[in-house]
Amino acid sequence: MSASPPPAAPDPAPVLGADGTLPQGDTKRVAVEAMFDRVAPGYDRMNRIISLGLDRRWRRTAVAALALNPGARVLDLACGTGDFSRDLAAARYRPVGADFSAGMLAATRTATPLVRADATALPVPDAAFDAIVCGFALRNFVDLETVFRESARVVHSGGRIAALDAAVPDRALLRAGNTIWFRGAVPLLGRLLSRDPDAYRYLPASTAYLPPAARLLDLLRSVGFVDTHHVTMTGGSVQLLTGTRA
């Protein structure tokens, strides 16, 4: 008599509800960490495919926007596999990476010092850095205001912030192309190539979680950054926020 296989165990921390909604609060934090642990081994390859190789250019633009002296200490917040850290080192800055996913940190290919930490509670003294960068992580945070406040705490007066993330283009034609790519092609590629297909349905859903540019700038100013700017790249599909610590 052959026994039928037991039903698959439910994902302990699904990053999307069955109806495609995002989890909230601590449930989101746990789900996001578990998702990045799962996707870490194939993360860099999927990143290059999804961004059509443009992600490197976006990070280099953000690094250039810091405009610091060589040797400046820069925190790469939510560093993932360390792409930003490599660009920072190439610009002759001294990066330190921080991320809460042990899987992502284990997959880094960088000589940068790394620390496992949550962005809301960094094990770093006040004003320890000349700048902070954050690549494609804003939409993953549960509480952006707390993360920005913590970012302001660890950067000294006159220091810089540069945060990159996905965005939705304003212009209808570009928005349609963006929707076809991120809501059609990317989830399909995720199903074919990733060990966690849900992660690539989560991506467009999480972009919608981000507040509009004006609100992001307000938040940055409310925690102590001045001279704040918001620019978009690649037809509005990527945004870069910058500011200077008051």
Ligand X SMILES: C[S@@+](CC[C@H](N)C(=O)[O-])C[C@H]1O[C@@H](n2cnc3c(N)ncnc32)[C@H](O)[C@@H]1O
Residues that bind ligand X (CB under 6 A): 32, 36, 47, 78-80, 83-84, 99-101, 104, 118-119, 135-137, 140-141
Give pairs for 167-174: CB < 8 Å, separation 24+.
167/207, 167/210, 167/232, 167/236, 167/237, 167/238, 167/239, 168/207, 168/208, 168/236, 168/237, 169/232, 169/235, 169/236, 169/237, 170/236, 171/235, 171/236, 174/235, 174/236, 174/237
Smallest gap from Cβ 1 to ligand X, in A, equals: 46
Smallest gap from Cβ 39 to ligand X, in A, equals: 9
Whole-number Å distance between alpha carbons of 100 and 126: 20
Smallest gap from Cβ 170 to ligand X, in A, equals: 23
Whole-number Å distance between alpha carbons of 38 and 146: 26
Residue 244's closest CA among 122, 130, 119? Answer: 130
Smallest gap from Cβ 216 to ligand X, in A, equals: 16
Nearer to ligand X, 26 or 69 (CB): 26
Q: Chain centroid to CA 240: how far?
A: 12
Smallest gap from Cβ 89 to ligand X, in A, equals: 14
Count each helix (H run) and each strand (E run) in the chain, helices first: 10, 7
Smallest gap from Cβ 47 to ligand X, in A, equals: 6
Nearer to ligand X, 102 or 226 (CB): 102
The residue number whose beta carbon is nearest to ligand X equals 80
Is 229 strand, coil or helix? strand
Hunting for tokens 């109806």 — which residue is that?
19
Hunting for tokens 């949550």 — which residue is that?
118
38 and 196 Cβ atoms separated by less than 8 Å: yes
Smallest gap from Cβ 174 to ligand X, in A, equals: 22
Report residue 245 as tokens.
Answer: 């610590």
Whole-number Å distance between alpha carbons of 79 and 137: 9
Nearer to ligand X, 3 or 241 (CB): 241
Nearer to ligand X, 93 or 100 (CB): 100
Nearer to ligand X, 101 or 237 (CB): 101
Nearer to ligand X, 172 or 181 (CB): 181
Nearer to ligand X, 8 or 11 (CB): 11
